[in-house]
């Protein structure tokens, strides 16, 4: 195809059209910006400069001058809530809801924000009532998650189960682990009130929901023990190894006590030794060490700890090693060993913690429900130093 010189005439035409379109967009942008109050830009500037107090003052002035600024109401309410001024946040969102001409979309948004205000203020009953009004709106899923949080705070586990099942049915993520944990909470309460049959029924539901629930399996063994059936309890506790070998450390003392009760402590010790060989654990070593010391003597206990320290060199293991060595150390070196043991032990107290894998919260005891972030099953059953060595 040959080039035609008259095509060049199209270039300035297209250039002109582009210039006109750009001018229209710029003029429209300038026109819209002129309609915004000056206080809006002042408030925005304060926010960008991390001066929330001055930003709030600027936005309040705008709202007074132009009550129809819905988006500014939302921004102002959120600022108040983040600063902990929940009463002011509540008033802002209540004022929005009081408008008769507020569109349904904005009304649902204001209702949700008001529920968050109540939740932040600790007014759980009001928050729950507000979130229930959002079931059939675009904020239904967020409201459902908030309701689940409320029921967990109030330890209303039966209602938490229903809320979690509703969210799961709506396709808002799997909730099997949480639901199983809620059943376990109810079962523990029944055990405390000596209702083993009711507890067993709840634990069966927990395992039907999440067959890998270690906590439900452990509690099932506790129920059998409460009913006087030690053999059934031992079978239940042994199932933990099939669910998670590292979690066997949590049930080790139960197993040892159970085998001792039926006169088969040696069998129980051999079982725990097999767990220790498969998954090293300072908590499990503690239980095995005491049993070996009782059944096989000081030399065997020393050898056990020495072998474990070689296999998994940790300060926690060294602490246990020094404890074992002091049992049969010559009298003349015991004072020196005691000093070293005290120094090592004081340092290992910082390492002998469980740590949440979600938020990093550390605790001396093992939790199924993290006190820091409120997530379930986020604590590995090993101490922090052991996890660092493994990684």
Q: How far, in Å, CA of 142 to CA of 140, rounded?
A: 6
Query: Is 365 within 8 Å of 355 (Cβ atoms)?
Result: no
Q: Whole-angstrom Cα distance, residue 38 to residue 62?
A: 9
Name every residue whose Cβ is closer than 8 Å to that of residue 378 and which is 6 or more positions away in sequence: 356, 357, 358, 359, 370
Tokens of 69: 């600024």
43/204 Cα distance (integer angstroms): 57
Q: At what angle do helices 298-311 and 282-296 cross, to 10 degrees?
A: 160
Q: What is d(CA 100, CA 307) in angstroms, rounded to the nearest whole number?
A: 77
Q: Is the dihedral of CA 81, 83, 85, 89 positive or negative?
A: negative
285: left (phi over 0), alpha (psi -120 to 50) or beta: alpha
Reduced to 3 states (helix: H, G, I; strand: E, B; else coil), residue 61 is: helix
Strands (DSSP E) found in 7-92: none
DSSP string, 342-388: HHHHHHHHHHS-EE-TTT--EESS--SB-TTT--BS---SS-HHHHH
Q: Which of 323, 288, 318, 286 is nearest to 385 (CA)?
A: 318
State how far Cα 206 lies from the chain centre.
19
Query: Per the annotation, does 356 bind a ligand?
Result: yes
| Residue whose C-alpha is closest to residue 240's, from 221, 214, 204 | 214
Q: How far apart are CA 235 and CA 255, in angstroms?
A: 9
184 is in an annotated binding site: no
Residues in the chain: 391
Alpha carbon 48 to chain centroid distance?
32
Known binding-site residues for Fe cation equal 356, 359, 370, 373
Known binding-site residues equal 356, 359, 370, 373
């Amino acid at each position: 195809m040959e080039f035609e010189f008259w095509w060049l005439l199209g270039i300035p035409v297209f250039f002109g059209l582009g210039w006109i379109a750009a001018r229209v967009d710029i003029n429209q942008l300038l026109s819209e910006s002129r309609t915004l109050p000056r206080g809006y830009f002042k408030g925005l500037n304060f926010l960008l400069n991390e001066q929330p107090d001055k930003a709030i003052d600027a936005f309040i002035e705008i709202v007074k001058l132009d009550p129809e600024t819905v988006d500014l109401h939302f921004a102002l309410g959120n600022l108040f809530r983040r600063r902990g001024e929940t009463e002011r946040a509540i008033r802002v969102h209540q004022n929005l809801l009081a408008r008769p001409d507020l569109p349904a979309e904005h009304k649902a948004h204001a209702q949700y924000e008001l529920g968050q205000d109540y939740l932040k203020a600790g007014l759980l009953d009001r928050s729950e009532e507000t979130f229930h009004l959002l079931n059939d709106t675009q904020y239904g899923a967020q409201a459902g998650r908030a309701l689940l949080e409320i029921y967990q705070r109030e330890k209303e586990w039966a209602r938490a189960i229903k809320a979690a099942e509703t969210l799961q049915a709506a396709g808002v993520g799997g909730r099997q682990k949480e639901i199983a944990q809620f059943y376990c909470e109810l079962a523990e309460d029944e055990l405390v009130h000596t209702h083993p049959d009711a507890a067993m029924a709840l634990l069966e539901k927990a395992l039907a929901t999440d067959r890998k629930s270690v906590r439900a399996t452990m509690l099932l063994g506790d129920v059998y023990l409460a009913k006087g059936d030690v053999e059934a309890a031992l079978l239940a506790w042994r199932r933990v190894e099939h669910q998670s070998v590292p979690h066997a450390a949590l049930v080790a003392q139960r197993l040892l006590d159970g085998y001792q009760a039926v006169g088969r402590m040696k069998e129980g010790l051999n079982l725990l030794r097999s767990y220790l060989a498969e998954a090293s654990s300072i908590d499990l070593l503690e239980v095995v060490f005491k049993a070996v010391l009782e059944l096989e003597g000081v030399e065997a206990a020393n050898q056990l700890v020495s072998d474990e320290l070689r296999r998994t060199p940790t300060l926690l293991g060294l602490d246990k090693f020094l404890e074992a060595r002091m049992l049969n150390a010559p009298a003349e070196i015991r004072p020196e060993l005691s000093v070293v043991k005290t120094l090592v032990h004081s340092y290992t107290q910082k390492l002998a913690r469980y740590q949440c894998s979600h938020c990093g919260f550390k605790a001396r005891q093992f939790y199924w429900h993290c006190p820091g972030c409120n997530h379930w099953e986020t604590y590995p059953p090993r101490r922090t130093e052991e996890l660092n060595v493994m990684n």
